[in-house]
Amino acid sequence: MCPSKATDGSQRGWIIPIGGAEDRETRRRILKRFVRLCGGRDAHIVIIPTASRLADTGQKYQELFERLEAGSSSSVDFATREDCERDDYLRILESADGIFFTGGNQLRISTILGGTSAAKLIRKKNAHGVPVAGTSAGASVLSEHMIAFGKEGSSPRAGSVRLAPGLGLTNRFIIDQHFRQRDRLGRLVAALAYNPFAIGIGLDEDTAAFIGPDNTLEVEGSGALTVVDASNLQFSSMADVSQSQPVCLLGLTVHLLVAGATYNLHTRQASPGTLLTTKE
């Protein structure tokens, strides 16, 4: 799956994976920035709570975006694949100035939306400039390669991760969330051992990657973002070990970024960004 292409001189919209447990009560920096990118008081934000099994998830985010002074919001719960072909749901999605996926189970999103008219429309909207954000499970599903589930732990093992197709807004990275809180370094590195082309992005809770049309990522939030780059991988034992054995990987590059730091997904160069100019 390749990302939808921007046409007629338009720029791709922002892609904003959030590590889960984002601040919704105090400073709310991540969500406020998302609302601004969508157009602020002129924005219509469409919430997709498909990942969640809680009936009130969409309503809670609608109320939250109202408090953040978004122009309007709608919740569209694609509960079945048939829902993803409904004309009334697709019309709401077509009107979106921003799209937000809630947390829950990422496989519910991929198995319900994958390959449907709704998924195609989301990809098209993002390709033509509409920001798409997702928190927790909603973050994992944004990329082409998605971590479906896996085991916690800092050591990569062949059986510690299972991958599935995501929505495919980009093929440049693989996301893992609740990263430090749930000790998920091992499964992210294992995912990269299966696919060294992609860049691993591990997002702590209340931490987001704001990825612009130029493929530059900027960190926002109170935690850290871990970048794992396997482009210079020299050796991998992934093909030779059993499911329970640790994997030997040589040549990985790791960056730890905090709010204001940047990473270019094209050049694979990290920068402290605004941290250089921040005064104590």
208's tokens: 């987001």
Task: Name the residue with tokens 């987001």.
Answer: 208
Known catalytic residue: 10? no
Catalytic status, residue 145: no
DSSP 246: B
Catalytic residue among 145, 178, 218, 220: 178
> For residue 250, with 0-12 CB atoms within 10 Å meaning exposed, 13-18 middle and 19 or more buried, which class applies?
exposed
The angle formed by the CA atoms of residues 14, 17 and 23, to the nearest 5 degrees, is: 110
Given the residues 144, 205, 218, 220, the one annotated as active site: 205
**Catalytic hit among 52, 110, 136, 160:** 136
25 has catalytic annotation: no
Place of tokens 């694979």: 268
The DSSP string of 56-116 is THHHHHHHHHHHTT-SEEEE----STTGGG-HHHHHHHHT-SEEEE-SS-HHHHHHHHTTS
Q: What is the DSSP string of 211-235?
A: E-TTSEEEEEESS-EEEEE-TT--E
Residues belonging to the active site: 136, 178, 205
